Amino acid sequence: MTYQKTLKLFQVVALGLAWMSPMIYFTVYGLAYEGSKGMMTGSYSMASAAILLTAISYIVMSKRFSSSASAYTYVKKAIHPYAGFLVGWVVLLEYIFSPVISCLTFGLYMHAQFPDIPASLWIIAINLIFAVVNIVGIKFSAGLSKIFVVVQVLFLVLFCLYLLKGMAGGAEAVAIQPLLPRGDWGISTVLTGASLVCFSFLGFDTVTTLADETINARKTIPRAILLIVVISSVMYIAVSMLTKLAFPSLSFSNADAAGFELMKLVGGAGLQSLFISVLILAVFTQGVIAVTSASRLLHVMGSDSTLPKRFFGKLHAKYKTPVNSIAVVSLVSLLALVLSLETAIKFVSLGALTAFVFVNGSVIAQMYVKEKKRSFMQTIVYLVVPLCGAGFAFWLLTLLDRTALFMGLCWLLVGAAYHLYRTKLAVPPFSKNVSLINRISVDE
């Protein structure tokens, strides 16, 4: 059985933005503000430029290999099947734990609104809803995402209008000021802030997992990646600049709740209440597409026997969705009952940054080394750009604390042990598919 190709460009962009969740700008506001010493516009500008480098590599690889699974597929085909497995195994951290974050965040916010209902009940309920929505089908998920992403963007526009309304006169003369470090705040401060706000961009790459369900994926997916990065960059930079112009100096009693405090400062209790409602909606939307992306990655790894094919490679007879993979993701999402939000975010960041490093490396291996595309412009696109993107992603990896890196190493060792088991005692995950990989025809 195969997927139904139903997704168009706008739907793919909506799904990508839903996974990224534009409202995440406010959930990490306090941490980003303190880390950048208030120079959030410069930090977001730097992060946007760096993320764009990696996005270009995703665009190159999505054109070269139009099948799903993102970094897993690219590394497997461009570098080596075993390297692809290890990268796919680490990337599972990003995909599998993203729904955990959604469930946990939803439970915490709803418990705050309705203290008599335990957060655990909200977590279990929303987890079941995520599963049902995904089993019904990706088109239904895309429809929800399109509506809820528009709501988030409209809220950001409303927030900017509040800022413009309350802004003091003469702001036009200092419009460039939020971009420039002042006093003792140099480029290192902006870079530190950039390493923090990069979390706001995680998710643009997940649309590559939807290639098998996208109409004319070879053209649609690259366009969607570029649009998602550009749209999110414009939103984040514009909001941070206007906020800086309206409030040159801010302080928060609780950095974790800085977004709530900012809403009250800008628009009072009314805007704060609206913010809570939209934020909960955003978390729901992000959770739906997070389960979609994670289940698609598991299905692809099952389809080529990297994971047990009879289980993970199965599609629902009616809805043509990977029902078993969705069930596994839903079970893992119940970890939200016992994990902290900080731990889940560490897993997601580790998986995403690892993917960024190796996708950039795949461009060099496939386009520059294997296919020998080495003209001046090709050298820029297939060597210089991915080298810069890989270097930035690796630098961010080094900024993760030792606990996160240790957890990642342990997870990698588990994956290596599993691969050894599959190779020695069961069906080799790649040998059966060498001929399949060789038969894949890819247009230039």
- Asked whether residue 9 is domain-assigned, the answer is no
- Judge whether 12 lies within some domain: no
- pLDDT above 70: percentage of residues in the chain: 87
Task: Dig out the tokens for 131 from the structure.
Answer: 């599963």
Could you tell me if residue 409 is inside a domain? yes
pLDDT-derived band at 441 (thresholds 50, 70, 90) equals: very low
Contact 340, 73 (CB under 8 A): no
Has residue 15 been placed in a domain?
no
Spacing of C-alpha 297 from chain mean position: 14
Give the pLDDT confidence of 292-329 residue by residue, as tens digits: 878 887 888 888 777 888 888 888 878 778 889 999 99
CATH at 222: 1.20.1740.10
Structure tokens at 402: 């030792």
Hey, what are 175's tokens? 């419009």
The span from the CA of 67 to the CA of 423, in Å, is 25
Look at residue 372 in the predicted model and tell me its pLDDT.
Answer: 94
Average pLDDT of the chain, as a whole number: 81
- Within a domain: residue 437? no
* Rounded CA separation 312/387 (Å): 35
- Residue type at 99 in one-letter notation: P
Distance CA 234, CA 153 (A): 11
> How many domains does the chain contain in total?
1
As a whole number of angstroms, the distance between CA 329 and CA 97 comes to 9
pLDDT at 22 over 50: yes
Report which of 303, 304, 351, 367 is spatially closest to residue 61, judged by C-alpha positions: 367
Q: Say if 408 falls within a structural domain.
A: yes
Alpha carbons 240 and 42: distance in angstroms, whole number: 9
Please give the sequence-ordered ranges of beta strands (E in DSSP) within 2-70, or none if there are none.
none
Q: Quick check: 18 and 292 in contact, CB under 8 A?
A: no
Q: Does residue 84 lie within any of the structural domains?
A: yes
Please write the tens of the pLDDT for every residue from 251-283.
887 776 788 789 888 988 889 889 888 988 888
The residues, any chain, with a CB within 8 Å of residue 434's CB and separated by 6 or more, are 81
In three-state secondary structure terms, 254 is coil
Q: What band does 443 get if pLDDT is binned at 50, 70 and 90? A: very low
For 217, residues 6+ apart whose C-beta sits below 8 A from its C-beta are 5, 62, 66, 210, 211
Going by pLDDT thresholds of 50, 70 and 90, the confidence category of residue 4 is low
Please check whether residue 219 lies inside any domain of the structure: yes
**Can you tell me the distance from the alpha carbon of 358 to that of 414, in angstroms, rounded to the nearest whole number?**
20
Range of the domain at 378: 20-430
